[in-house]
Structure 1
């Protein structure tokens, strides 16, 4: 089987907050008549530069055409050479590699008439416990809005939430107090995510304030600037709560292991560059005796399906995970949207080959955008994933 062509389709899908996220849907065609699909998820991140899709397609054609899709390691090495790791959380080269690697796995599994999870070694479970994100408070009047989000999602079966914190601690504290008062033990806040906004000393003071409202807290996420391994280590010594950080390069993961800077690795294919790399990161975490949580950038159903296959094939995920992206959007580009039930992400039917999702061409056309260029958005909108600014 040889790769004969590649398609890249830019789409813009609104979130329920009104913020429009841009993604790239990948199709890889072969001489066997099979097509693999993937997703370069959520290009609407800092830094604010846009990838030129025509130029990207030419580059990917030079790498992929004529290749055997089963040469996953060789192709991934060429992709890393062309789009190298940059020790940065939202490095767009990782997004590109992820979309291609997803599509290659989909293609290889389809050829073998198996699911992607079987290609990854088989399933150890059929579903993953996940949490719904509560986005960062900037203003006190957003507390009531987020309480309403908890009410709505709790009715849908989500009983675990992840809270972005650190921009307005008074509002964060007010929100936690309201959740504890209204929901008591029925709702769990599994993590406080600082998203690198504070230095470790300020984060330490904030943690002391917020952990007065311990609602089943599993971890503290990203409580120091990016790549501040010493800061993570110092904070880890000063709190009883596990410290978690995303993995966005193997060098960064190596440094965190050497420094013993964290307790839990947040591993997501989008940030490390695909299923192939995510599995490597998960195995490294296991060898280092560190915990794992499956992270997210809030993918659509194609990207989330890939994460479900990965998560259900790993033996060492031991914390509530994050992939709830399809629930955050008003639409999608597939016929069979990924399934959530009782707060769990369910893997696609194992009897359906490949990723187990199928592109809906009408929806692909509905959400199509001409390019990945930026509209008039602010840094705050990008960080908080909202369509509006206040004050």
Structure 2
């Protein structure tokens, strides 16, 4: 079997799908979405086409190694997202070729379902009480929200509104994770963490940017709330220093950014040896989520799964818009079932994808500024 075609599709609202076709007609789909940089990842996939058209798609590990190590420059969000989309598509193709789910090829499943959580509140969190009630009505038992909008390095702490929003969500009977989104710098992050400590949060996510690993130890000493991070780490080598530091409780690799199913399975296994939980980052599309569920099926330390159903980014098209079998990714009583179909278990409506690509998206995140005009973290 040989790869004969590797195609990419810019699918709204902000996704990049990868389609791999073999000479026997077998297909695999993956997702290389890197929010705001689809064009750059598409360019990186040009190099992978040169490498892998003509390769045996069943040799997933070998293809991964060449994709990562076959050039002098490696790592980072663009190159690793390209590898991720290709890798997901290969697992999808191989599973379909043998008629089994990807998790069967990874050693079999360790669970029947995984707990899911949904987003509420948007980039500048508001209407939390109403949104929390809606998620509760959908069957979710856990949600995540942004802690704040833009914040400077210092200032008079005004965290009452943050605490009020958390209380509003918890009053709906939900467990709540709070995402700092890397928006806070060390002085304010410490104060907000202290303010949130009594609230019994599910986790605090990305309280500091991952490029400041030395600050995590000091931050961790201030709170007993579990600390989650990792959506801006792109390989097991990026995660290694955080495992060794002993201050991270939950890692959040993104299967469309961190090397696909192949690499994230290895990252999860490394985390298991440090007694660290895994909660994959996934505010993306159906193929990314389906890949996450293959990881959840085969990795014992996956504890909860993010999903993008109905989030504020999904304008015009939602998580299930391009699925022919949407029930596979539809939560039930706050859980997502492990897919049992071959490959990633999701059937993509190819005609609809091709039509959407005709008016390809150019999604960009907003640029925020402080009151003094300087650029703020988004």
TM-score normalised according to structure 1 size: 0.82
8 Å Cα contact 2:297/2:338 also seen in 1: yes
Is residue 211 from structure 1 mapped to residue 202 from structure 2 by the alignment? no
CA distance in 2, matches of 1:7, 1:50: 13
Is residue 252 from structure 1 mapped to residue 238 from structure 2 by the alignment? yes
Partner SS for 2:262: helix
Is residue 303 from structure 1 mapped to residue 327 from structure 2 by the alignment? no
CA distance in 1, matches of 2:225, 2:26: 48
Q: 1:204-353 alignment to 2 at 5 Å?
A: 204-214=190-200, 217-246=201-230, 247-296=233-282, 298-317=283-302, 319-322=303-306, 324-328=307-311, 329=314, 330-331=317-318, 332-337=321-326, 338-348=329-339, 350=340, 352-353=341-342
Paired position in structure 2 for 1:384? none
Please say which of residues 339-348 and 196-205 is displaced more in the overlay. Answer: 196-205
Q: Structure 2 regions of 5+ residues with no counterpart?
A: 151-158, 370-378
Q: What per-residue deviation string (whole Å, max 9, x for no partner) do you get for residues 317-351 of structure 1?
A: 2x3332x1244344321211222111111222x2x
Matched length: 349
- Kindly state the Cα deviation for residue 71 of structure 1 after the two structures are TM-superposed: 1.6
Q: What per-residue deviation string (whole Å, max 9, x for no partner) do you get for residues 48-94 of structure 1?
A: 683274x44532221111111122122112222457213xxxx2222
CA distance in 2, matches of 1:271, 1:207: 28
CA RMSD in angstroms comes to 2.4
Paired position in structure 2 for 1:67? 55
Partner SS for 1:255: helix
Paired position in structure 2 for 1:387? none
Distance 1:356 1:137, change over 3 A: closer
Distance 1:3 1:277, change over 3 A: same
CA distance in 2, matches of 1:62, 1:358: 27
Q: Structure 1 regions of 5+ residues with no counterpart?
A: 14-21, 382-391
Partner SS for 1:178: helix
Q: What per-residue deviation string (whole Å, max 9, x for no partner) do you get for residues 140-177 of structure 1?
A: xx53x232211212111012111211337443222123
8 Å Cα contact 1:52/1:372 also seen in 2: no
Partner SS for 1:270: coil
Distance 1:135 1:251, change over 3 A: farther
TM-score normalised according to structure 2 size: 0.85
Is residue 44 from structure 1 mapped to residue 73 from structure 2 by the alignment? no
Paired position in structure 2 for 1:167? 149
Paired position in structure 2 for 1:187? 174
CA distance in 2, matches of 1:11, 1:49: 10
CA distance in 1, matches of 2:6, 2:27: 9
- Kindly state the Cα deviation for residue 371 of structure 1 after the two structures are TM-superposed: 4.5
8 Å Cα contact 2:68/2:74 also seen in 1: yes
Paired position in structure 1 for 2:3? 3
Paired position in structure 2 for 1:107? 93
8 Å Cα contact 1:224/1:232 also seen in 2: yes
8 Å Cα contact 1:265/1:290 also seen in 2: yes
